[in-house]
Structure formats: C-alpha cells, structure tokens
Amino acid sequence: MTNDENKLLFYIQRLLNLTEWGLHAGKRANTKIWEPTYTLVYEIIGCHAATVDVTPLSSEKLANGESLDIPVQMTLDSITFLKDFIQICQLGLQPDTFISEKLTQKIAQELSDPLLVSANSLSEWCNFILTKHKHLFSLETRRNYLMATAFGTTRSIVWAQNLLDQANEQNNAQSQNRRDDNTDFRIGRLKHERIKVPRNDELFETAMRVLKFHAVRKSVLEIQYFNEEGTGLGPTLEFYALW
C-alpha cells in the first residue's frame, strides 16, 4: 500500500482481480466484492515470514497491476490507427462509427456499483481504455466516468446516489405499485459555502481571489452580492456570466 489516497477496498479489489483462481479448488472469482469473506495477512517489513498459508502473488505482478493481453492491445492500437487514417484521408465517416456498445456496457456495469465508485476502486483497465482509446465511447459515457472518478469521494457518492435516484424514478414510472422506501436514504451531502462579493468595477479581481481560495475545497460554491437578498443558483450563474 504505497498510495495513501487509495482506500483499503481499492487494494482488495486489485488483489481479487490479480488472483489466479485456477490454483484454488472449489473457488471462483465473484462479481460482487462484498459477498466473499477476505482474510488479510500482513506483517511489518523486516519481521519473520508469515506462518500461515497465503495466496501466492508475485510482487512484480502486484506492482505492475492489471495489464491487457497482447491481442487485445494490438486490436485497440489497430482501431486507433484506423481512426487516425480515416481522419487524415477525410473519408467522411461519422465519429460514432468506432463506438463499442459492448465496452460501453462494461463501463456502465462498473459505474453502477456504488461501493466501487465511492471507494475509487474501479478496475484499472477502465481508466486506461477511456484515456488512451476514448474514441470507443460516447461523450455521455466519458462524462459519467469523469463525474464518478475525478472530484473526490464525496462527489462520487453524491453522483452514485443521483444515478440511483434516476433509476428509481424510471422504475416507478414503469411500475403501477409505487414505492418510496429508499428515496430518502442518503450517505452524505455536499457542503455548500456562500461567499459575498461586491457588484462593482472590482468584480473581476474579486472573482479571481474567490476562485483561487475555493479551488482546493470540495464544497459547492454559492455567490451572494452585497446589499442584495438573492442567493442560490441564480446569483451564482450571474457571477460566472459577468466576468
């Protein structure tokens, strides 16, 4: 565990993906990370070796993480080359020609697991393929991945909850028996910070100071003008529009 930013669940998921399940008779990889029971054996570096049976896993393999098979990598590189060739030759193909529905479904499946999203424990191949081969995915898929992974744990949890709310609304709209059992369940909420700014010729300088101060904070920024009663989304959007 070399990165303090990663959660314990991240390393459990990583070990799960790297384990050679063929060596374990009667055991198999499970799609749900919380279903099996995990026994963690650890020791301080420099102590004697552990005396219990542990899962064999080379340190080199763990350090390198998940890697793509050579045929898979060659296929992705070929598709990327073909896309670049078509753009250079101006053949007129639509950008969505290269979008992969199966890979999109796999990404959606990863993002539908709120535990993995909130712990930032998505499979490493997700970040690799969305970064290096983004032409295989629609703008909506890439935006969902960005919203789920790029803004910290709190916003990831809120994003996952909003996704669950949308799914519940769709299910309720299709079902005659409406149920609201889990609509009020919340793990956390985003903190809102309200900052007052003057509406004068120094608005631009004030805005620069506000954004510089707020850049490292995870809360939602709300703007209110001095000597004005309006708060919330309206004045905040006006603040961005004015400068």
Average pLDDT (204-231) is: 88
CB of 111 closer than 8 Å to CB of 146: no
Helix (H, G, I), strand (E, B) or coil at 225: strand
**Who has greater pLDDT, 1 or 189?**
189
- Which amino acid, 26? G
Mean pLDDT of the chain: 77
pLDDT of residue 35: 62
Predicted confidence (pLDDT) per residue in 25-53, tens digit? 455 555 555 566 767 676 666 655 555 45
Q: How confident is the model at residue 62 (pLDDT cuts 50, 70, 90)?
A: very low
> 190 vs 17, 92, 186, 217, 219, CA distance in Å?
32, 44, 11, 11, 6
Per domain, the residue ranges of the chain are 8-64, 99-169, 192-242
In this prediction, residue 139 carries a pLDDT of 93
225 phi and psi angles, rounded to 5 deg? -90, 145
Q: Report the pLDDT averaged over residues 99-105.
A: 92
Compute the average pLDDT of residues 187-196: 82
**181 or 133, greater pLDDT:** 133
Q: Check residue 235 and report its DSSP letter.
A: H
Average pLDDT over residues 93-107: 87
Single-letter residue type at 38: Y
The CB density around residue 28, as the number of other CB atoms within 10 Å, is 9
Q: pLDDT tier at 64 (50, 70, 90 boundaries)?
A: low
When mean pLDDT is compared across 147-151, 194-198, 209-213, 216-220, the lowest value belongs to: 216-220
More confident residue, 168 or 213: 213
Residue 177: its pLDDT value, please? 57
Beta strands, E only, the chain: 192-197, 220-225
Give CA angle at 230 (163, 215), nearest 5°. 55
Asked if the model's pLDDT at residue 125 lies above 80, the reply is yes
Residue 208 has pLDDT above 70, yes or no: yes
In the block, tokens 């995990």 appear at: 38
Residue type, position 124, single letter: E
pTM of the model: 0.62
Rounded Cα gap, residues 206 and 181, in angstroms: 45
pLDDT score of 108: 92
Of 180, 177, 158, nearest to 168 by C-alpha is 180
pLDDT at 214: 87
Q: What pLDDT does residue 8 have? A: 72
Q: Which of 11-25, 138-152, 206-220 has the lowest mean pLDDT?
A: 11-25
